[in-house]
Amino acid sequence: MNKIFLLLTLYFLALLNTQSHSQKITTSNTGTVKITFINTVKGQPLALNTGSYTNPFGEAYTVSKFKYYISHVSMAGAKGDVNEVENYYLVDESKPETLHFSLTINAGNYNRLNFLLGVDSLHNVSGAQSGALDPLNDMFWTWNNGYIMAKLEGRSPQSKLVNNKLEFHIGGFMGENNVLKNITLHFPPGKFLNIQPGKTSEIMIEADIDTWWQQPNDIKIAEHAVCSSPGQLAKKIADNYSKMFSIKDVVN
């Protein structure tokens, strides 16, 4: 009898919890964090089309497109408190307005940022989407459905493709072809992000294309100038680019 009562109480608490969980953060105890992405090659700001770069294997290349999905952004503090926002962002070097976005976060001290590099598997199978996930953004495979999580296009004299094309469309969300990457970026030692009500703090993140070619997998343009479907090559490139992010600065 008592057991039943206890179970029911727990059940109602759980029910109440799911009801309140769906409510948006509306308390005044929140601040804003602006997250900015700075795309670079070896630390130098990326210049689409005009910049000439060399990868670790001495292969020259230019970049004409550089885009990637950021989702499920959360901030975490020393106490383990996490604020997750499910929103989806497509960072596109050719559109300056996509290089930064702002989140509403509960006030507090945070020492790291987490996000998913890519689009979670559920949203790869959920039909027609809008906003950052609109197929108009040219990041959705129409013949083998799924999102391109990251895209790097350009040219290289080492490419054996037509017009020396370089074309990395990295995707795959199922089973062993999954290229989704959970990224955690710790702020520099001793640095905290102190979110205060009504204030805007900033995080600057650098994304370095130079990481795409090496560690743990050697990707030589002469051998692989194109990747346009899920599989082993896509996974290798994703393993490399999962290390492209670093915290450049944190401003309270």
Partner 1 sequence: MKCLQIIKDILSKGSKPLSKRSSCKGTSVALGVRSRIIILLSLCITLCALLIGASNNSPVKFADGNLPDYIEFKIPAGWPKPPTNIFAKNKLSEQGFQLGKKLFYDPRLSKDGSISCANCHQQFAAFATYEHDFSHGHNDQHTSRNAPALFNLAWMTKYHWDGGINHIEVQPLSPITSPTEMAETLENVLIKLKSDTAYPKLFKAAFGTEEINSQRMLKALAQFTGSIVSSNSKYDKVLRGEASFTYAEENGYKFFKANCAGCHIEPLFTDNSFRNNGLEINTFLKDYGRMNITGNPKDSLKFKVPSLRNVALSFPYMHDGRYYSLGAAIEHYRKGIVTTQSTLDPLLANTFNITNAQKYELIYFLNTLTDTSITRNPRFAK
Q: Which residue has the tokens 């070097």?
A: 93
Q: If binding is defined by CB under 8 A, does position 140 make contact with partner 1?
A: yes
Does 165 contact partner 1 by CB under 8 A? no
DSSP 8-state secondary structure symbol assigned to residue 46: P
- For 23, counting Cβ atoms within 10 Å of its Cβ (0-12 exposed, 13-18 middle, 19+ buried), the class is exposed
CB of residue 172 to partner 1, shortest distance in Å:
9
- 3-state class (DSSP) for residue 101: strand
Q: Per rule CB under 8 A, is residue 51 in the interface with partner 1?
A: no
Query: In terms of Cα–Cα distance, which of 149, 205, 200, 153 is closest to 178?
Result: 149
Work out whether 22 is an interface residue with partner 1 (CB under 8 A): yes
Nearer to partner 1, 5 or 96 (CB): 5
Shortest CB 88 distance to partner 1, Å: 14
Q: Can residue 134 be called a binding residue for partner 1 (CB under 8 A)?
A: yes
3-class SS at 156? coil
Q: Which two tokens stand for residue 130?
A: 């809008």
Work out whether 144 is an interface residue with partner 1 (CB under 8 A): yes
Of the candidate residues 104, 135, 196, 236, the single one contacting partner 1 (CB under 8 A): 135
The first and second tokens of residue 29, run together, are 């105890």
Q: Distance between CA 171 and CA 128 in Å, rounded?
A: 18
Among residues 6, 8, 60, 82, which is the contact residue for partner 1, using CB under 8 A? 8
Q: How far is the CB of 212 from partner 1 (least distance, A)?
A: 22
The nearest distance, CB 153 to partner 1, in angstroms, is: 17
Q: Does 145 bind partner 1 (CB under 8 A)?
A: yes
Pairing of the two strands 140-141 and 181-186: unpaired
Q: Does 20 bind partner 1 (CB under 8 A)?
A: no
CB-wise, 57 or 141, nearer to partner 1?
A: 141
246: exposed, middle or buried (C-beta count within 10 Å: 0-12, 13-18, 19+)? middle
What is the rounded CA–CA span in Å between residue 53 and residue 94? 18
Which residues of this protein are in contact with partner 1, per CB under 8 A?
1, 4-5, 8, 11-12, 15, 19, 22, 124-130, 134-136, 140, 142-146, 177, 229-231
